[in-house]
Amino acid sequence: MIELMKRYLKPYRGKALAGILTKMVEVVFECLTPLVVARMIDDGVATGNTDEIVRLGLLLLVFAAVSYCFTLVCQKMAALVSQAVGTDLRDALYAQVNRLSSAEVDRFGTPSLVTRVTNDTNQVQVTLALTIRQLTRWPLLAVGSVIACLLIDLRLGVITLICTPLVGLVFYLVMSRVLPYYQSMQTKLDRISLVTREALSGVRVIRAFRREDHEDARFNDAARDQADTAIASGKLSSFLSPATMVIMDMGIVAILWQGGIQVNLGNLTQGETMAFINYMTTSLTSIGYLANLLILMMRGQTSAKRILEVLDCEPSITDGSDESLALPARGEKPALELERVAYRYEGSEVDALSDVTLTLPEGGTLGVIGGTGSGKSTLVDLLPRLMDASEGSVRVLGHDVRSYPIAQLRHEVSIVPQHASLTSGTIRSNLTWRKKDATDGELWEALECAQAADFVRQKPDGLDTLVEADGKNFSGGQRQRLTIARALVGSPRIVVLDDSASALDFATDARLRGALAGLSSKITTVIVSQRVSAVMGADQVLVLDHGRMAGLGPHRELLSTCQLYREICLSQLRKEEVER
Residue 182's domain is classified under what CATH number?
Answer: 1.20.1560.10
User: Given 311, 328, 347, which residue is the final one in a domain?
Assistant: 311
User: Given 295, 311, 327, which residue is the final one in a domain?
Assistant: 311
Residues 306, 345 within the same domain = no
Contact 551, 543 (CB under 8 A): yes
Contact 170, 244 (CB under 8 A): yes
CA dist., res. 43 & res. 33, Å (int): 15
Residues 377, 243 within the same domain = no
In a domain, 72, yes or no: yes
What is the per-residue pLDDT across 209-263, written as a single tens digit (0 to 9) for each?
788 888 888 889 888 988 888 888 888 777 776 777 787 778 778 777 777 777 6
**Which is higher by pLDDT, 140 or 527?**
527
| C-alpha torsion 567→573→576→580, nearest 10 | -90
Q: Which residues pair with 148 in a beta bridge?
A: none
Residues 215, 345 within the same domain = no
511 contacts: CB under 8 Å, gap ≥ 6: 451
**Which is higher by pLDDT, 297 or 541?**
541
Residues 26, 135 within the same domain = yes
What is the per-residue pLDDT across 341-399, written as a single tens digit (0 to 9) for each?
999 887 788 888 999 999 999 989 999 998 888 888 899 999 998 888 889 999 999 89
Q: What is the reported pLDDT for 266?
A: 67
| C-alpha torsion 355→361→363→368, nearest 10 | -20
Residues 233, 158 within the same domain = yes
Other Cβ atoms within 10 Å of 267 Cβ, number: 12
Residues 138, 220 within the same domain = yes
Residues 55, 178 within the same domain = yes
Amino acid 525 reads T
Residues 294, 396 within the same domain = no
Task: Spell out where 375-429 has E strands.
Answer: 391-396, 399-400, 413-416, 425-426
Say whether pLDDT at 407 is over 80.
yes
Find the CATH number of the domain harbouring 400: 3.40.50.300
Residues 122, 76 within the same domain = yes
Amino acid 196 reads T
Say whether pLDDT at 88 is over 90.
yes
The three-state secondary structure class of 404 is: coil
Count the domains in the chain.
Answer: 2
Residues 103, 146 within the same domain = yes
User: Given 311, 328, 356, which residue is the final one in a domain?
Assistant: 311
Q: What is the reported pLDDT for 134?
A: 80
In a domain, 486, yes or no: no
In a domain, 544, yes or no: yes
Q: What DSSP designation does 327 have?
A: P
| C-alpha torsion 348→352→357→363, nearest 10 | -130
CA dist., res. 122 & res. 120, Å (int): 5
In a domain, 450, yes or no: no
Q: What is the reported pLDDT for 494?
A: 93
In a domain, 452, yes or no: no
CA dist., res. 427 & res. 429, Å (int): 6
What is the domain range of residue 395? Answer: 336-419+494-579
Residues 523, 391 within the same domain = yes
pTM above 0.85, yes or no: no
In a domain, 43, yes or no: yes
Q: What is the reported pLDDT for 288?
A: 66
In a domain, 364, yes or no: yes
Average pLDDT, integer, range 464-482: 88
In a domain, 92, yes or no: yes
Amino acid 387 reads M
Of the candidates 3, 4, 107, which has an alpha carbon nearest to the alpha carbon of residue 316? 107
Residues 289, 347 within the same domain = no
